[in-house]
Amino acid sequence: MKVKPADRINTIEEYYFSRKLRQIDQMRNAGADIISLGIGSPDQPPSDNTIRRLADEAHKPGVHGYQSYAGNPALRKAFSDWYFKYFKVRLDPENEILPLMGSKEGIMHISMAFVNIGDEVLVPNPGYPTYSSVTNLVGGKIRYYDLDEKNGWYPDLETLERSDLGKVKLMWTNYPHMPTGTKASAELFRQLVAFSADHGILLCNDNPYSFILNQEYLSLLAAEGAMETAIELNSLSKSHNMAGWRIGMVAGHRDYIKNILKVKSNMDSGMFLPLQLAAVEALNNPPSWYDTVNKVYKERRKTAESIMDLLRCRFSKEQTGLFVWGRIPDEIESCEAFVEEILNKAHVFITPGFIFGSQGDRYIRISLCADNDRLNEAKRRIETLSL
């Protein structure tokens, strides 16, 4: 008789992209040439100096042991300097920054550090599915707050104010927003900080997309009073083409960082030192490096937008980030069936918006993490369909 899994497993499902990539692999194994415009995994490399630094450091004999749970001081300082240079936020590298093995790890650490069983967590709809799954895993209660295109994909704080917030412990925000590509504003962050302070809610902004097709660098921590009631996640995955390297950080008041470290120190044994020192190199890239990366994304975005036009989808040209988010035509009954038809007939995978929540039911998302030749090939294939 097999041992039954923990009850918490019944609160979550396998990640959508995990299932979908398995399906795509099966199709490829059967001979199909699938063009994936789904997941946001940058296909451009990190800067040359970043890769060289990793190789140089890895050849040294004394770098292969356990490292500090709190991260190398050089990396914490590099994150601190980066935040001041681009976000105009001063962070004490000693105790207001904690390097992470990717910011996705941080979502779990933060939830374990602050959410008790039964505590309510405000989660954006649409939003990153991990906010919901991690809340379930730690025994929290999800309270979705709707983001609507009519409200510019911003939270309706007035509606939230009229609800009972007495059990809410944590609120997730994500600006620049995934999947909609909506940028934040200093006023939005000011309002969010005031809202969280008024109700004793820990506010966490997940901020990995600031450098993609965007030069208006904003951090939640720049808002007045933010350090008392808010923390922020960031990552090198998107901004520095280092998704597989798993390097992120969380920043905030030293008391918040101290509690997150309590969880983290019981879950890993430190990050490989050459990775940390290579990350220092990446964080010191000049502004021109981001410009070079974004020049490629700008060209791809034009092609992705033409695919949206071909599919008769409505979208905003003001979006930022690694994706184009568009509303499907009203006459299409099912978004899921729509993207499945494109996958099966054109062998092009496009992400359906429902995986990000009910507010995404009528939307699709196209990733810019495929080169322009593949994007144009996807467009050519879709042109042959009768949708």
For 238-297, write each residue's pLDDT tens digit: 999 999 999 999 999 999 999 999 999 999 999 999 999 999 999 999 999 999 999 999
Please report the pLDDT score of residue 17 as a whole number: 79
pTM across the whole model: 0.95
Indicate if the pLDDT at residue 344 is higher than 80: yes
Mean pLDDT value across residues 314-336:
96
For 1-10, write each residue's pLDDT tens digit: 789 999 998 8
Indicate if the pLDDT at residue 12 is higher than 90: no
For 296-318, write each residue's pLDDT tens digit: 999 999 999 999 999 999 999 99
Reported as a pLDDT band with limits 50, 70 and 90, residue 15 is: confident
Reported as a pLDDT band with limits 50, 70 and 90, residue 164 is: very high
Reported as a pLDDT band with limits 50, 70 and 90, residue 202 is: very high
Please report the pLDDT score of residue 385 as a whole number: 87
Please report the pLDDT score of residue 212 as a whole number: 98
Indicate if the pLDDT at residue 14 is higher than 90: no
For 99-129, write each residue's pLDDT tens digit: 999 999 999 999 999 999 999 999 999 999 9
Domain range summary for the chain, segments of one domain joined by +: 7-45+288-383, 65-283
- Pick the range with the lowest mean pLDDT from 12-21, 23-32, 47-56, 144-153: 12-21
pLDDT more than 90, % of the chain: 94
Tell me the residue type at 228: E
Indicate if the pLDDT at residue 80 is higher than 90: yes
CATH for 65-283, options being 2.170.270.10, 1.10.20.10, 3.90.550.10, 3.40.640.10 = 3.40.640.10
Domain covering 7-45+288-383 in this structure, CATH number = 3.90.1150.10
Please report the pLDDT score of residue 19 as a whole number: 85
Please report the pLDDT score of residue 346 as a whole number: 96
